[in-house]
Amino acid sequence: MAHEDPALLERAKRARRIVRNPNQYKVCLGCDSIVAAKVNLCPNCHSYRFETEESQVVHQAQVLSRRVQHSVVAEDLL
């Protein structure tokens, strides 16, 4: 059995949560991150424009779950 990357496994786990409840999330149009539906400003890029269509949220979750993270997030700056 091949060794699975723990980071990819965690991303897949988060993606499953998003796919089950896409109405609770939205996609940032500035950086393509998925954020909670309640936020008004992306915590990663500070954009205020979002895609809320559930099918797009699901699609983006599936895309992000298959690749390693390459964006800088707030935790990286601490």
* 31-68 tens-digit pLDDT: 999 999 999 999 999 999 999 999 999 999 999 988 77
- Nearest to 69, CA basis, from 1, 12, 28: 12
Given a cut of 80, is residue 77 above it in pLDDT?
no
CB environment 17-55: b (16+ within 10 A), e (fewer): ebbeebeebbbbeeeebbbeeeeeebebbeeeebbeeee
